[in-house]
Amino acid sequence: MSVAGRYFTIPVGYAAELDGLRWSDSGDAIELRSGETFAFATQIWQFLEGFTATRPPLHFAHILHLMRMLGVGPIAAADGPVAELRRAYLLAGRPLRNAGVFCARVCHDLAGTSLPVTNDELRDELINNAGYSFSMSFDVLHPNSRRGDGPLEVPSLPSGAFDQRVRRALEGYTPEALLHWLKFGQAPHAAPAERLVEEVLARPTNVLDALHAAARDRERLAGALALAPALGGALSLPPRRLDTSDLPLGGYSDVTNRGEPERLLPTQFALDGDEFVRRFAERELLFFRREEPGKSARRGGS
């Protein structure tokens, strides 16, 4: 049996705590004790792919335990933070890869598998070789237990201890954070208002503070800081002058029978519909022209 094949073995004692999980006879899915399908090999790889994108995999029994807590497989009872986790998983559309990324975050301080196995080997064994490498569950009694050509690894924590450890970690996440993690596979960003406050607080209070921050690691620039107050007092910027408004401020300067629709005299809208059409066809509708503001000549101009 290959190293990847040994990784995918399920200890019978641990499996009994998870409704008797075992590989199907064909090896392409994991079943419950009742014979119902828990997850197909492709689903397990989706979760593992997200998990291993962040950290090395845990023991395979712990991986199945996490998937069971998410609500993979037949519906089962859940309470506390596990119920919130399942709710977020359903609302997010059951994204197994994102769930793997989040579970890797939750279990960031737990020991990973001791087997020297790579992601490519796990994928190849799970997807391409399913059916003849790990179609049985093996009872693991101690680290030196052997099956054929290699030792079988025991989980780092018993089922109950692992369950409590994950529940404690989940208590640190709000329902909104859980949903964001499972929907996008990353931590929620700070709210826009919070980011704005952080940026404002991080800004220097004045120019000298900004120069001091810029010259912290630059000796030549630090020597010029003594001249900054003198230069600041010597420089003066011209006052800002506002241009004269070009908006027409006067009334009507002329009335004509040509113009744009928006310049129709308001009285024209009181005409009867047929009369309006007739005058429009005969070009008898009245349009106005606004009085443009006077412009004073600039001094010094040519």
Long-range contacts at 232-236 (CB < 8 A, ≥ 24 apart): 232/207
Q: How confident is the model at residue 190 (pLDDT cuts 50, 70, 90)?
A: low
Please check whether residues 146 and 258 belong to one and the same domain.
Answer: no
Predicted confidence at residue 102, as pLDDT, reads 97
pLDDT > 90: what percent of the chain? Answer: 43
User: What is the separation of C-alpha 294 from the centre of its chain, rounded to a whole number of angstroms?
Assistant: 57
Please check whether residues 58 and 144 belong to one and the same domain.
Answer: yes
Task: Find the range with the poorest average confidence among 31-35, 159-163, 172-176, 230-234.
Answer: 230-234
Q: How confident is the model at residue 205 (pLDDT cuts 50, 70, 90)?
A: low
Structural contact between residues 71 and 89, judged by C-beta atoms closer than 8 angstroms = yes
Q: Is the pLDDT of residue 290 over 80?
A: no
Predicted confidence at residue 219, as pLDDT, reads 72
Specify if 75 maps to a domain.
yes
Q: How many structural domains compose the chain?
A: 2
Of 158-172, 183-197, 205-219, where does the model show the most confidence? 158-172
287 to each of 19, 38, 269, 272, how far by Cα in Å?
85, 78, 11, 17
Q: Cα separation of 31 and 34, whole Å?
A: 8
Predicted confidence at residue 141, as pLDDT, reads 36
Please check whether residues 31 and 115 belong to one and the same domain.
Answer: yes
Please check whether residues 284 and 165 belong to one and the same domain.
Answer: no
Higher-scoring residue by pLDDT: 94, 138? 94
Task: Find the range with the poorest average confidence among 38-47, 60-69, 137-146, 185-194.
Answer: 137-146
Please check whether residues 35 and 169 belong to one and the same domain.
Answer: yes
Predicted confidence at residue 243, as pLDDT, reads 59
Structural contact between residues 13 and 22, judged by C-beta atoms closer than 8 angstroms = no
Give the side-chain half-sphere CA count within 13 A for 2: 16
Higher-scoring residue by pLDDT: 283, 89? 89
Question: Which pair of tokens denotes residue 28?
Answer: 């392409």
Predicted confidence at residue 281, as pLDDT, reads 86
Mean pLDDT of all residues belonging to the chain: 81
Q: Is the pLDDT of residue 172 over 90?
A: yes
Specify if 149 maps to a domain.
yes
Higher-scoring residue by pLDDT: 69, 227? 69
pTM of the entire predicted model:
0.60
Structural contact between residues 48 and 66, judged by C-beta atoms closer than 8 angstroms = no
pLDDT in tens, 116-165: 999 999 999 888 765 444 444 444 433 333 444 556 788 999 999 999 99
Per the structure, the complete domain to which residue 126 belongs is given by 3-184
Q: Cα separation of 248 and 229, whole Å?
A: 47
Q: How confident is the model at residue 188 (pLDDT cuts 50, 70, 90)?
A: confident
Please check whether residues 92 and 171 belong to one and the same domain.
Answer: yes
Q: Is the pLDDT of residue 260 over 60?
A: yes
Please check whether residues 28 and 140 belong to one and the same domain.
Answer: yes
Specify if 226 maps to a domain.
no
Out of 135, 161, 184, a domain closes at: 184
Helices 175-184 and 96-106 pack at an angle, to 10 degrees, of 130
Please check whether residues 153 and 73 belong to one and the same domain.
Answer: yes
Tell which phi-psi region holds residue 283, choosing left (phi > 0), alpha (psi between -120 and 50) or beta: left
Question: Which pair of tokens denotes residue 124?
Answer: 């190849």
Question: Which pair of tokens denotes residue 289?
Answer: 């022209």
Higher-scoring residue by pLDDT: 234, 91? 91
**Burial of 286 (C-beta count, 10 Å sphere; 0-12/13-18/19+):** middle
Specify if 272 maps to a domain.
yes
Structural contact between residues 287 and 264, judged by C-beta atoms closer than 8 angstroms = yes
Task: Find the range with the poorest average confidence among 140-154, 209-223, 256-270.
Answer: 140-154
Q: How confident is the model at residue 30 (pLDDT cuts 50, 70, 90)?
A: very high
